[in-house]
Amino acid sequence: MNRSELVAALSERAEVTRKDADAVLAALAETVGEIVAKGDEKVTIPGFLTFERTHRAARTARNPQTGDPIQIPAGYSVKVSAGSKLKEAAKGK
């Protein structure tokens, strides 16, 4: 499902215009992005998803073409965890 299909499904289910559904989806993505970028708290949609910023330590890896070791600097990543309702939906229940 791409963005336009998601917007269409949201607008139909919530009985709002596609423009309004698209605005809400954009606002959700922007808000989650801002909170995750700060890194001081996680975003939880109860039973559905949890987003949080995690720290990755610096490490040594190998270049797959040459086999030479390379240094990968420390950085941040995003951890997304499925909630109980989403897990049940994935099982088909």
How many CB atoms within 10 Å of residue 49? 15
pLDDT for 24 equals 95
| Mean pLDDT along residues 41-48 | 94
Domain spans, the chain: 1-38, 39-93
Which own/partner contact pairs does 81-85 have at CB distance under 8 Å and 24+ positions apart? 81/49, 81/50, 81/52, 82/48, 82/49, 83/44, 83/45, 83/46, 83/47, 83/48, 83/49, 83/50, 84/47, 85/47, 85/48
13 pLDDT above the threshold of 90: yes
pTM of this structure: 0.76
CATH superfamily of 39-93: IHF-like DNA-binding proteins (4.10.520.10)
93 pLDDT above the threshold of 80: no
